[in-house]
Structure 1
Amino acid sequence: MTFYALDTDGIDAVASFVATGWAADECVIVVATGAHRTAVDARLRALGHDPDAESVSGRFLVLDAEDTLRRFFVDGHLDLARLTPLVSEALERAGAGSRPVRIFGEMVALLWAVGEVEAAIELELHWNELLRRHDFSLLCSYPTDSFEQAELVDVRRICDLHTDLLPPAYRAAAPRTGRAVAGRGAAVGDDRTGDGPGHACSRVYLPAPESVPAARHFVVDVLRAWGHDEVAADAALIVSELATNALRHAHSPFRAVVDQRRGGLRIGVEDASELPLSRRDAGVEAVDGRGVEIVAALARHWGSSPLPGGKIVWAELPVPGGATRAG
């Protein structure tokens, strides 16, 4: 099972997933919203494919995600007794003639988007159970902003249910500000603004190598937008080390946080592991294992604070002149 954030790049990924299936004479089932079905259809045609002809040939089955979800999500609860025969029927139709089957679906993303986190996770678990009963491949998607207000422990649960993670193409974006962050509060894409205490920005990243440079660029962009170019290099190194630690040791998605405080800045990385931060003694010739020492050398103060289901590791940097907002 794979995972993808469905934006412009995601549409390309889904179209490629479908086209690859056709090239291997597989039947493809797409369970998507109307807007995404239209976008994928247009992309497939741009690539020289004919979805209508593939449908007539029996190699393409399209279902509406919202309508399908309504058939087994009743009164705020999943009715898996309705889902199992529905999927089994679709697989039998698609696999007629012993063709392999691949499915793209975004019903889980629809549940997540309306705050039905437990139902989304339950549906993911059921997909895994169906994968054990039937032979098919599955591509799931979530919109890029779907984790904005999510708890990291829930993001981690979703990530852990997938065999591969294909993160979005992280791009530079104008930093957004939010209210006070103690490792939790203002989340990625939070567009709440305020000039009061605890002026902060944060963004969530998936547990993938691409996330470390993305978090570094995010922190630098925020500090430059705030007029703190003089500490951007140190802050970038700090967040790189903390983010790397979250991936390597916590094996967790993480939230990068930049917080203005009186007389300085706090750079933090929240992860979804309750294991305490550990310092390792790196040998003289060791090429890694010095992350905490680097953070300690650059920061005025640093530390780790527990959070429900995880922790935040933070480091404070002084700003020349102390020209930050009160916090």
Structure 2
Amino acid sequence: MEKHLKTEKSNMTTITEFVLLGFSDIPNSQWILFGIFLVIYLTILMCNSIIILITRIDPVLQTPMYFFLNNFSFLEICYVTITIPRMLMDLLTQKGNISLVACAAQMCFFLLFGGSECLLLTAMAYDRYVAICNPLLYPLVMNHKVCVQLAIASWVSVVPGGIGQTCQIFSLPFCGSNKINHFFCDVPAILKLACGDTFLNEITVNLAAVVYVMVPFLLIIVSYGKIIANILKVSSASGRAKAFSTCSSHLTVVVLFYGTATITYLQPKTNQSEGTGKVISLFYTVLIPILNPIIYTLRNKDIMVALRKLLSRLL
């Protein structure tokens, strides 16, 4: 019995790295996927960098709405850089070995940037609420100091939750298989490899998801409820259309981002297969980030005008 316990303890301490299986189940498509994800990553970097540039230099875009969009675009670059380059390297080398420290760092930064996006989207919804429901007070309420404070709060307030969540998960013993059926170190995938009872950890994950996902989402819903009620009171059709157009881009991004995040982190893990979880993760780590700048540029006249001005200067 004592020998068995020693062997078990030894097995629990021998795992020094994980293996990200990624897309190893479709080996013939590795190079195609590498090309697709490389193009997507470069497109995300280019589009968000352009948004950051034009919202910085164009005088028309020096408003709170575009200040938050500038921050959101920078967050998007950080967010995708945590996962896609690692995915590209694994596809290129066809090896998914990652140390526990690197895996923990990837998870931590992913939680930090993802949580910051949730809070920043809430700040953007509040900005639209003040602009449409209290237009006379808008310059006073949403002054530059307040905007900076909201942006900093979006970045800083997720730090305790992100670091605490990561430390708690990686303090668990890992034994048996070290293969992660995922393309990055996501919380549900890592918890499946932990030994012992993970009930407390799952409760903590759900609690964090409620605090950083559901509460901001409910605040956004309340804001847009009041916004829509206010817009419907506008007598002119052109006025209603203009008000809706300023909110439609943000609302589309909110639905896409929060929808997939909610399915991943609040759905019971018994209801979700590993393959399904991987596909959903692709949506919020790769596909939605490339859609966001497209949504914000194509549906925003001010951005398109500023973009044409920039292109005319360069050409």
Report TM bin, short chain: under 0.3
Greater RCO (CA < 8 Å, at least 6 residues apart): 2
- What TM-score comes out, normalization by structure 1 length? 0.22
Structure with the bigger percentage of helix: 2
- What TM-score comes out, normalization by structure 2 length? 0.23
